[in-house]
Amino acid sequence: MSFFVVVSLLKVVVVFFGMLSLVAGLTFAERRICAWMQDRLGPNRVGPQGILQPAADGLKNFLKEETSPALADTPLFTLAPLIAFVPALLTFAVIPFAAPLPTRWGLIPMVVADLPVGFLYILAIGSLGVYGIVLAGWASNNKYALLGGLRASAQMISYEIALGLSAVAVLLLAGNVTLSQVIAQQQLGAWFVVPLTVAFVIFLISAFAETNRLPFDLPEAEGELIAGYHTEYSAMKFSMFYIAEYSNMVTASALMATLFFGGWDIPLTTWDEGAPSVLKTLATLAAFGAKTFVFLFTFIWVRWTLPRFRYDQLMALGWKVLLPLALLYITIIAGAVWFTRVQLGWAYGPGMAWTLGGLNLVLLVLVVGWLDRGRIVSGSGTVREEAA
């Protein structure tokens, strides 16, 4: 029992400080990547190649004056950043980030809490962050902040449903809501991105909306709402919202890597599935980190590439496109899984994975064709002719 307690506390400390360090590095990476995309230098003065810029920004925020509006609800105004910050860190607790580590006292699972309801825990805790945003908007007693909080709540409710429904397809194939078992199931055949391509696309779009990243950052639209729900915040309370946003990005990226890309599984080899060793733990940790970084880079890339949606477009995409599509997709994929398992007697493996992958390719072509309807593929000339 003492070994379990000590190991659990050690994992909590390592994940907590690791997440904060990763968030600090991610702020620097975003500024350098966007500078590279825009053909400029970015931060390069503080430390070698500007590597100490996050430390300088953190020190600046610690030393800045804390302000509070005269008519604000002070207790809730102070509590809101914490409510947004804590769920962002808690959700990472159930994601396995490496193969188990062997020690003289037994195997140590590389996950803070290997809950039997891991994915349900993420959906439950992850949805609590919106309370911090809504409270920040309401407690500020500022009309722009209030509009930002209301937008955030409507947006998260709209896209949380599509995100959860897209993950139901993963649970159908995995037969389990424990994330370590989801990874083990993917090791039997292909990663779930192959048999569940459409579900991955829906999950990816919903993840952008859930993290309030462009093109879905309507709650803090500078041109309309100044800065949205954190208009009245300064110093560290202001920074905590950004820490929460980047922590949500890390968690969403790690979750996509776990659900659809095999988690810590190393591709094109079964070496990592054998007897555990320290080398395998380190190698699988590197593989998981690489997959997560690809999605983090995608978040940054999309932010500096695409313009912001209008609010009516954002809500229409959630309710008129993603939600019906997710419901229809679950029906189709459930029937396909039942047919392959019950009628054909297949267990999950490469044959079943690639068969479902062919079905998903057909569905993806149909969905893209329906969404396009001559607007993009046929070019702007068709649109002008229709308008004329």
Q: What is the pLDDT of residue 222?
A: 60
Report whether 239 contacts 66 (CB < 8 A): no
CA distance 80 to 98: 33
Report whether 159 contacts 213 (CB < 8 A): no
Question: H helices within the chain, ranges in order?
Answer: 2-37, 53-63, 74-90, 118-126, 129-139, 143-174, 179-186, 197-210, 222-225, 235-260, 278-303, 311-316, 323-338, 350-372, 380-387
Residue 221 tokens read as 């639209």
What DSSP state is assigned to residue 261? S
The ranges of the chain with pLDDT < 70 are 1, 219-227, 374-388
What is the residue type of 193?
Answer: V
The greatest distance separating any two alpha carbons of the chain, rounded to the nearest whole angstrom, comes to 77
Q: What is the pLDDT of residue 381?
A: 54
Sign of CA dihedral 75, 249, 41, 308: negative
Terminal alpha carbon distance of the chain: 76
Q: What is the pLDDT of residue 214?
A: 78
Report whether 211 contacts 189 (CB < 8 A): no
Cα 244 from chain centroid (whole Å): 12
Residue 65 tokens read as 């004056």
What is the secondary structure of 176-221 as a DSSP string?
-S-HHHHHHHHTTSS-TTTTTHHHHHHHHHHHHHHTT-TTS-GGG-
What is the residue type of 124?
Answer: A
Report whether 141 contacts 72 (CB < 8 A): yes
Q: What is the pLDDT of residue 221?
A: 62
Q: What is the pLDDT of residue 284?
A: 92
Q: What is the pLDDT of residue 286?
A: 93
Kind and range of the H or E run holding 108: strand 106-110
